[in-house]
Chains A and B, each alone.
Chain A
């Protein structure tokens, strides 16, 4: 009874905070629109294999008699050099890009969060070592490191994803370390220490759960950048391999035909642009809504 009372009381400011964020979100048109686009893209990624007009064209199937046809009522975005429906391939590409980006960011979080939490809560020379390694990784432009790593691992979509995760984790380590440093002085952590909880348990059951939300927000903001990086790697030939309907790869193949088949490169490019823009606008809006400094009354 007492516990229920306490927790509901403790929850109240959080609920109020959440309500206020929702209120701000409702007022921010651009963020609202981008949220709808992102939700739409996620739904599209899930259902695309079942709704595209030519599912076999997103896989191995070819259709040479209809090659390089301009957009028509039969093929909305035209066809490519193997006669495949570009509309089907672009829609299916949403699934590939979102899936890969989600895995890459997830993996980066899996590396970044424990390292940051350990560095922040333990401190001392362990902190020094982890943070200097982080500094070194951060001194590479992210795309460059991803190019170097994925070219060494060998060109494939999985390796591109791995390469992105390896070049992205330091951002999360740095973010969570800052959070962990301020948390470790708090009473509840001190209390856990006082009753003899092991440091590992303190890190993972007291510190990480309490500093994870800004990291999750940051990660969702990074999705746009990660999707663009995947497309860039595939464009260079380091990511997805044919016949995968990946947007960057499609643009790369379209280079040989773009002077007489404009539709081939235009549509995958627009798909990348809309997806990345929606994620970036959402990230920008979220930052404005959740950051107390930029909150408008």
Chain B
């Protein structure tokens, strides 16, 4: 237990170190910008004096180490600077956009678990049969598909041809006009469910299906493959043979005895895949007009809004570091692994 605690502490410290590194890298890349941020801030028709004033206002006239110190100081306070587009604080804009993305990422992770684990179990059970080949092909295929293209393809089929799902957005205009949308956590599906607003819930659910499936494809394949390989390793263990020799049904052996011990690696993969899913929302949200940070960064990229891009970068990198940390802790909790 002491070893575990000191391991977690060590990983935590390393995580903080990495975060510092992440912040430093974003600082370095914003300061080597070829174009002049002060000129951008002052606007296209600014006079040289106005640009100079903007330079002082933004603190770009000070030596680099002072700028770096200020940068870190501001970040610690949660200040990511101001967006060049809207002139609003980036932190406020992030706060407004993050819940929608989290909603999307969480739901697709749930889908990945619900579909990926059974698929993995069945392909382990029927190794080298058609289902196993299918799941292998599916997982390699999902990694090879351009997510943004899948999004357009699904829209084409389910909206354009079949006409059963909406094109994009979080709710239809009529529902947004007729009902007050609950806002507790910012995650509409969850909020409408707990406030008992089932019309909004149903409408929001229809809207989230396509973006969710689009970004869940990759983690489904990943979870299936990981569950399969972990299970195959475990099914060779002696305790499984023992359980079988007691005459326990194959279903109990597989779903209870074997699955329990293969969940560790699967949980690790799920945690790590959340990071990828988060980045995949950057490619998908703008197609589905989903008001999350993915669309926010896609819009910011088009107008080269550096503070906004860096804000999203830092947020995502921090989530990634945190998820890595959680994955490491999950691995460490497995008593079979000695730290």
Contact = CB atoms under 8 A, between A and B. Distances in A.
A and B from one assembly?
A: yes
Interface of A: 132-133, 135-137, 139-141, 143-145, 147-149, 151-154, 224-225, 228, 231-232, 235-238, 247-248, 251-252, 254-255, 258-259, 262, 265-266, 268-269, 272-273, 276-277, 280-281, 284
Given A139-B320, A152-B306, A258 B21 contact: no
Contacts of A143: 279, 282
Nearest to B133: A30
A262 B153 CA distance: 9
Interface on chain B toward A: helix, strand, loop, or mixed SS? helix
A141 B276 contact: yes
A140 B313 CA distance: 9
Nearest to A276: B144
Contact of B282 (A137, A236, A248, A272): A236
B143 A232 contact: no
Interface stretch (B23-31, B176-184, B194-202): B23-31
Contacts of A152: 29-30, 32-33, 306, 309
Interface string B28-66: 011011110000000000000000000000000000000
A236 B280 CA distance: 12
Interface on chain A toward B: helix, strand, loop, or mixed SS? helix
Contacts of A248: 146, 148
Contact of B144 (A153, A238, A273): A273
Nearest to B19: A139
Interface stretch (B100-108, B114-122, B294-302): B294-302
26 contacts: A136-B18, A136-B22, A136-B24, A139-B317, A140-B25, A140-B313, A141-B276, A144-B320, A148-B310, A149-B29, A151-B304, A152-B306, A225-B143, A228-B146, A231-B146, A232-B147, A237-B302, A258-B155, A262-B160, A268-B149, A269-B146, A272-B149, A273-B144, A273-B146, A276-B145, A280-B140
A237 B305 CA distance: 13
Contacts of B145: 273, 276
Which 9 pairs between the two chains have the least Cβ-Cβ distance? A136-B21, A269-B149, A276-B144, A277-B144, A141-B279, A148-B313, A139-B18, A272-B146, A152-B29
Contacts of B275: 141
B316 interface: yes
Contacts of B317: 139-141, 144
A249 to B, nearest CB: 11
Contacts of B25: 136-137, 140
B316 A144 contact: yes
Given A144-B313, A269-B153, A273-B146, 8 more contacts: A136-B18, A139-B22, A144-B317, A148-B313, A235-B146, A236-B283, A258-B155, A273-B141
Contact of A135 (B21, B32, B141, B306): B21
Interface in B233-255: none
Contacts of A247: 146
Contacts of B153: 265-266, 269
B10 to A, nearest CB: 14
Which of A149, A224, A247, A269 has the most C-beta atoms of chain B within 10 angstroms of its own C-beta? A269
Contacts of B332: none
B18 A135 contact: yes
A144 B318 CA distance: 12
A132 B17 contact: yes
Contact of A141 (B33, B278, B301): B278
A240 B14 CA distance: 37
Interface in B135-181: 140-141, 143-149, 152-153, 155-156, 160
Contacts of A224: 143-144
Contact of B140 (A151, A238, A262, A281): A281
B287 interface: yes
